[in-house]
Chain A
Amino acid sequence: MKSYGNFKFNQISEDTFEMLLLGSWTKDTLNKNIEELEKLKLSYTLKVNIDFSALKECDGAAFIYLISFIKKFPNENIVIKNLNIYETRFRFYEKNYQENNLKEEIRTTVLKDISKSINKVTHEYYFSFVNFTQFLGKIFFFFIYSLFHPKKIRLKAMFKYIETSAINALFIVGTASFLVGIVIAYQGAVQLEKFGANIFIVEMISITMLREIAPLVTAIVIAGRSASAFTAEIGAMKITDEIDAMRTMDFEPTLFLTLPRIFALIISLPLLVFFADIIGIMGGMLIAYTDLNVSFWDFIQRMQTEVPLKHFLIGIFKALFFGIAIAIIGCYRGFQVQNNTTSIGQYTTLSVVNAIFAVIALNAVFSVIFTQIGI
């Protein structure tokens, strides 16, 4: 009789063997036992008697392994002996034993059917386009509706969002535009000094700041801050069924959740841009004074005479659309969140990426339009 650690293998007759299980067959020892058993390279046509009488310890994982081992042999070739105290547990696991016999099917179909996955992706894109259009339509409808029913506008919620997404963002918007103002002035100052055209720093800073930089910087900061917040808030409400609860109570989520956020950003983004204009130009003024000897008073006077108001108005006008785009994307992604925890993260990321891209794309479109119509 040969001993292999936790079992003994013993030839009784020409094609019949006895396998005596010994010691402990548990999760921790099982791997070693399996290795030894596999080393024997048994042919599954043999007749094997499995004897449990000397077994000291056996847990579920080991029972399941032994059952899978036994099932490799034809039924009549296996005799199980002396189960004794293991009888009920062995029979329990035997009754419930399952293997995954669907696996091959699934794997081959996925590999083979590439056209299926292309179909799926196309369908998803189409579906999300339809969804987004519906969402926009709903917003437009309820926007018009709330103009005729001003009582339906949720002012309190709107003011709350103005506070969280604009007033609380003043510091970061201010700092960002101040620093950008300084950077532009520095770079400009070096070039202008070469030509002795120091005073032109005023036009350079004012026009770039008012028309392009302040709206863009503000919108990007707000896209990062508020689009993500909107998505996460609405997404969490969706997971906890709050949105479905609203629907059953006939509270329209567009009126309750989406429009107040859109109104909040429509109002606050132009104001934030105005604030960023001031702070950014102040940063520029500081460098103009220290590096180019243009005094604050000269700067302001020249700004008044040489910088037309239209640049300021264009910046504010753009900010309005940036606000709408950020709020719509933030809310739309929030409503897309599905009932699992990973999807909040996924859609929040998407919402920030989409919102920043939308801001940059809108800015490019406006740039072309304004140049074409000559303002």
Chain B
Amino acid sequence: MEIVKVKNLSTTFGKNVVHDNISFNINKKEIFGILGGSGSGKSVLVKQIVMLNTIQKGTIKIFNKDVSNLSLEQSHFVKKEFSYLFQFGALFSFLTVIENISVLLKEYTELSDDLLEKIAYTYLEIVGLPKDCANLYPSEISGGMKKRVALARCLALEPKVLFLDEPTSGLDPSSTQMINELILYLRDVLNMTIVIITHDLDTIKTVLDRFIILKKDIIFNGNIAEAMNSDNEFIKDFLTNKKA
């Protein structure tokens, strides 16, 4: 079943063509990668799917609903079904770490503060952060920690679809591995569909089920084995040069 359907999407900024008539689908329970060089419009594409950027030409459907034509009620429904992890976390600076994690549950459910706190502490543990950072503000923690808190915030509402914008950039190798394992776990056990924008070769090789490479057009759509066997030089370079 397709969760996200992108059809004939074109995007231009001034004279600069970012997407030229691209189409692809993201299936349920899939870990889907969006790859491409800097400025190839990866973030723009995902932001169009989550209704942050407007669609210039073409259609995007999420849960079989056209995102450029949603009623207020439908949009409320859709927005509770997905979470977006921003590249630098985008934590609310006026809330502490623990409040940031529980903010969604606090807003959308009527659970007691005591239980909310337990839930938040559990998610803090799930993303591998120590308890003593719970009462700190986002300005007081490091970039990598911010990202993990933001991931915990995304998970707290247990969305069906998770959009991750470079989830492992700026993390140390062991944290990267932990996040990668967590991503696999989320897909296997919580049945989440996960869309990842990434440059991390480890993530590409070990986590992604399928990915596309953007370069105005979609120049590749398939899994890692297919990509390595492809005779397109650009794709090979793209996936191997980063080792250096």
| Chain A residues engaging chain B, CB cutoff 8 angstroms | 27-28, 30-31, 34, 59-61, 64-65, 68, 88-89, 92-93, 96-102, 106, 338-343
Which single member of A30, A59, A340 contacts B158 (CB below 8 Å)?
A: A59
Which single member of A64, A92, A98, A340 contacts B115 (CB below 8 Å)?
A: A64
Please determine whether A340 and B139 come into contact, CB atoms closer than 8 angstroms: yes
Write out, one digit per residue, whether chain B residues 128-140 have a CB within 8 A of any chain A CB (1) or not (0): 0001101101110
B93 to chain A: which residues have CB within 8 Å?
340-342
A98 to chain B: which residues have CB within 8 Å?
118, 121-122, 124-125, 131
> What is the chain B residue whose CB lies nearest that of A30?
B111
Asked if B112 is at the interface (CB within 8 A of a chain A CB), the reply is yes
> What is the chain A residue whose CB lies nearest that of B185?
A92
Asked if B228 is at the interface (CB within 8 A of a chain A CB), the reply is no
A-B contact pairs, 30 of them (CB 8 A): A28-B109, A30-B109, A30-B111, A31-B112, A34-B115, A60-B119, A60-B190, A61-B109, A61-B115, A64-B115, A64-B118, A64-B119, A68-B115, A88-B189, A92-B126, A92-B185, A93-B122, A96-B122, A96-B123, A97-B122, A98-B121, A99-B118, A99-B121, A100-B98, A100-B118, A101-B131, A102-B131, A102-B132, A106-B135, A340-B139
Please determine whether A31 and B110 come into contact, CB atoms closer than 8 angstroms: yes
> What is the chain A residue whose CB lies nearest that of B155?
A60
Q: Would you give the shortest CB distance from A18 to chain B, in whole angstroms?
A: 24
B131 to chain A: which residues have CB within 8 Å?
98, 100-102
Please determine whether A338 and B118 come into contact, CB atoms closer than 8 angstroms: no
A96 to chain B: which residues have CB within 8 Å?
122-123, 125-126
B77 to chain A: which residues have CB within 8 Å?
none
Asked if B117 is at the interface (CB within 8 A of a chain A CB), the reply is yes
- Chain A, interface SS category: helix
Which single member of B94, B105, B132, B138 contacts A61 (CB below 8 Å)?
A: B105
In the bound complex, CA of A88 to CA of B98 (Å)? 25
Q: How many residues of B contact A (CB 8 A)?
A: 33
Would you list the 10 A-B pairs with minimal beta carbon distance, nearest first?
A: A340-B139, A98-B121, A340-B93, A96-B125, A27-B109, A98-B125, A96-B126, A341-B93, A64-B119, A31-B110
> What is the chain A residue whose CB lies nearest that of B126?
A96
In the bound complex, CA of A27 to CA of B157 (Å)? 9
Q: Would you give the shortest CB distance from B145 to chain A, in whole angstroms?
A: 14
Interface centre among A61, A93, A99, A343 (most CB of B within 10 A): A61
In the bound complex, CA of A341 to CA of B94 (Å)? 8
Write out, one digit per residue, whether chain B residues 178-218 have a CB within 8 A of any chain A CB (1) or not (0): 00000001000110000000000000000000000000000
Please determine whether B94 and A342 come into contact, CB atoms closer than 8 angstroms: yes
> What is the chain A residue whose CB lies nearest that of B132?
A102
> What is the chain B residue whose CB lies nearest that of A341?
B93
> What is the chain B residue whose CB lies nearest that of A95?
B125
> What is the chain A residue whose CB lies nearest that of B130?
A98
Interface centre among A65, A88, A100, A106 (most CB of B within 10 A): A100
A89 to chain B: which residues have CB within 8 Å?
189-190
Contact A338 B139, CB 8 Å, known A61-B115, A88-B189, A96-B126: yes
